[in-house]
Amino acid sequence: MIETIQWTGDGVVMIDQTRLPREELYVTCRSYQEVARAIRDMIIRGAPAIGVAAAMGVALGVQHADPARLDEEFEQIASTLAATRPTAVNLFWAIERMRRVFAEVRGCPIGAIRERLIQEARQVRLEDIAINEAIGRNGAPLIPDGKTVLTHCNAGALATAGYGTALGVIRSAISAGRRIDVFADETRPFLQGARLTVWELQHDGIPATLITDNMAGHFLKSGRIGCVVVGADRIAANGDVANKIGTYSLAVLAKENGVPFYVAAPVSTLDLTLASGDAIPIEERAAAEVTQVFGVPVAPEGTAVRNPAFDVTPNRYVTAIITERGIARQPYAESLAGIAHA
Ligand code: MRU
């Protein structure tokens, strides 16, 4: 299995996702500031993986914190990590989980506090792998045999602690005997589909074909695509889904062509405090991601750019949301609340 992120005696070790597939390099973060930078610069990315990184970042920060100023330093660590990327709710979920553990052990000897936070961060990672396997098991029966699955961005092992959400469903369907192949959108501008999804699927021997984002409609109309499966960064109470920019267009095209559109995500990606997707904060990233490809300019100097990293797919385009606790369908306000409180 690909190791996305691990806690080691040396620090938090991550595979550098900005360098794949050309180089398989590992980065060691030795402070919480380095973990924050790794999240911001997308050395690690994908909502569940960002959550694991944040949990480990908190644990790492407390290892080096001044015991006499622990409360203030904890808040500084939490707020630095929370300021990295705004859309994936798993980031905030993980920080809150670590905050609850910190509150439980406050007043204990510093060594015990540090140990307990390391243990929790490691537990977040292990649970994430088990959750993805459960998502895979729940989603596999939805995947039609003998067809192509279309996916967008990377919702695989690299976007999680392992196995993946959308790619976990695909892995699980293949293990259950489905004869399927995968079409991967390249996912402009950061190319997670081309660089990461194809690399990851090749690693596992799963047949993968790369298409550019603007080819998706053509193939959805062709009858070849049996279903679309994507991940999510935040899902509102009504089932609106924030995911990588381009997901919304894909969902509309899927509906137009009668192709089921599935979202695979852990319960930690649900944000039931938000009534609809309109309230989900959308990250806007640097213009250079759009005007340059691997540092080479592809647009005239001074070009005006917009670079929203995510879009929101209205729930009416979502056939089902696959979680580790089961499958939610319309009306999502009821089905998601049931799953969240199960
Ligand atoms: O900007 P990224 O690469 O962090 O965006 C990732 C996605 O949009 C994924 O689809 C999502 O986080 C789900 S990952 C299991």
Position 100 confidence tier, pLDDT thresholds 50, 70, 90: very high
- Mind telling me the catalytic residues? 233
Q: Is 205 left (phi over 0), alpha (psi -120 to 50) or beta?
A: left
Whether the pLDDT of residue 165 is over 80: the answer is yes
The residue to which tokens 């989603």 are assigned? 139
Write out pLDDT tens, residues 136-149.
999 999 999 999 99
Position 2 confidence tier, pLDDT thresholds 50, 70, 90: confident
Where would I find the beta strands (DSSP E) of the chain?
5-8, 11-15, 26-29, 148-151, 181-185, 208-211, 225-230, 234-236, 241-244, 261-264, 270-271, 292-293, 296-297, 310-313, 320-323, 326-328
Phi, psi torsion values for 250, nearest 5 degrees: -65, -40
Among 192, 196, 213, 268, name the best residue to mutate to test ligand 1's pocket (greatest count of ligand atoms within 8 A of Cβ). Answer: 192
Q: What angle do CA 2, 208, 155 make, to 5 degrees?
A: 50
Q: Measuring from atom 15 of ligand 1, which residue has the nearest CA? A: 155
Q: CB neighbours of 21 closer than 8 A, spacing ≥ 6?
A: 195, 196, 198, 199
Phi, psi torsion values for 201, nearest 5 degrees: -70, -40
Ligand 1 atom closest to residue 153's alpha carbon, by position in its atom list: 10
In percent, the amount of the chain with pLDDT more than 70 equals 100
Write out pLDDT tens, residues 321-332.
999 999 999 999
User: What is the reported pLDDT for 141?
Assistant: 98
Cis bond upstream, residue 189 (ω within 30): yes
Whether the pLDDT of residue 173 is over 80: the answer is yes
Distance CA 62, CA 265 (A): 30
User: What is the reported pLDDT for 152?
Assistant: 98
The alpha-carbon radius of gyration of the chain (Å, integer) is: 20
What's the average model confidence in pLDDT over 111-117? 98
In percent, the amount of the chain with pLDDT more than 90 equals 99
Provide the Cα torsion 255, 259, 265, 267; round to 10°.
70
Ligand 1 atom closest to residue 283's alpha carbon, by position in its atom list: 1
- Calculate the alpha carbon distances from 159 to 95, 105, 113, 197 in Å: 18, 31, 29, 10
Position 188 confidence tier, pLDDT thresholds 50, 70, 90: very high
Q: Which of 101, 54, 100 is nearest to 78 (CA)?
A: 54
- Joined together, the tokens standing for residue 231 give 């991940």
Position 73 confidence tier, pLDDT thresholds 50, 70, 90: very high
Please state, rounded to an integer, the average pLDDT across all residues of the chain: 98
Write out pLDDT tens, residues 272-296.
999 999 999 999 999 999 999 999 9
Phi, psi torsion values for 99, nearest 5 degrees: -65, -40
CA of 310 to the centre of ligand 1 (A): 9
CA of 89 to the centre of ligand 1 (A): 11
What's the average model confidence in pLDDT over 81-103? 98
Whether the pLDDT of residue 1 is over 90: the answer is no
**Cβ–Cβ < 8 Å for 234, 280:** yes
CA of 160 to the centre of ligand 1 (A): 9
Distance CA 248, CA 16 (A): 28
